[in-house]
Structure 1
Amino acid sequence: MSQEKGELSMEPDPLLAQAVPAISAAVALYGADVLHRTEDAAASGAARLGQRLLAWLTSRRPDDTDGLARAVTDLADNTDGEDEHAALRLELRKLLRDDEDLRREFAALLPRHDPASATGDRAVAIGRNEGIVSTGDGAYNVIGRQD
């Protein structure tokens, strides 16, 4: 599906999928003050990354970040809000959509995650797992649930 310049895609963006949780962690830790704080070495990795991303964006595009600042402020008021997270994602997408250089530089700030790969008979490659991975003949797995 082709996309006109300036048009927002509804496809998931892997760059935003990595950036939004980091920025959200920083907002959860510092609230809207995250927009004006310097990087805090004591913050968790995700929150520190979120601080770095926000500081970089606001310094690179100071005239274009009013919407981002509003989204961060709204998220600070409701850190669990789906709409607030969506607004943050939308504002980031708007900032990055028309400037490939900015997008490339922003992507370089994020940690690289190489995709998992495996070769060979019954090989298993896991990038992220939240369940059972089982190989072998006659494997039997049980998941206990707590209610």
Structure 2
Amino acid sequence: MELELLLAQTVPAISAAVSLYGADVLRRAEDVAASGTAHLGQRLLARLTGSRPQDTDGVARAVTDLAERRGGEDEQAALRVELRKLLRDDEDLRRELALLLPQNAAYSASGDRAVAVRHNEGIISTGDGAHNVIRRQG
């Protein structure tokens, strides 16, 4: 799986787990009552931090910062940077994480006017003052 796509799917799941458990998510056993996304985030973090604990200090710091600042965009970006460093040269770990992710979750969008669509047969317009027309023959 491409690194950027893997990050786009991993960071929101980890962020959901952090918002539910705070920094304790790094030490917490899997909670079967957690929502699907938070549970996925727990599993991803467990796999990441269990792989090479000596290499995951940056990820742990980013998760702690994310928890302390309640999931800000800057903290999510810092987590993405640390994950990218960890995953950049480890194809095996990327493959293992990809197997944990739902196979149908291939799209993600974040930021101002971001759009993520699995299927669309119409117009998606995020521009100011746009005038869109669909002419259907029928």
TM-score range with shorter-chain normalisation? 0.7 to 0.9
Deviations 1:34-86 (A, max 9, x none): 00001111111000000000011111111101000000000001124111000
2:105 pairs with 1:106: no
Which protein is richer in helix relative to its size? Answer: 2
Match of 2:36 in 1: 45
Residue 23 of structure 1 aligns with which residue?
A: 14
Between Structure 1 and Structure 2, how many residues are aligned? 117
- Whole-Å separation in 2 of the counterparts to 1:22 and 1:107: 13
Amino acid at match of 1:37: R
Runs of 4+ residues over 6 Å off in structure 1: none
Which letter maps to 2:6? L
Unaligned runs of 5+ in 2: 107-116, 125-133
Work out whether 1:137 is the aligned partner of 2:136.
yes
The aligned counterpart of 1:89 is 80
Q: Is the 8 A contact 1:24 1:79 kept in 2?
A: no
Give, in whole Å, the separation in 2 of the partners of 1:24 and 1:80: 7
1:13 aligns with 2:12: no
Look up the match of 1:142: none
Structure 1 residues 113, 93: closer, same or farther in 2, change over 3 A? same
Shift of 1:137: 3.0
Highest Rg: 1 or 2? 1
Letter in 1 for 2:46: A
The higher relative CO (CA closer than 8 Å, separation ≥ 6) is in 2
> TM-score by structure 1 length?
0.71
Distance 1:71 1:42, change over 3 A: same
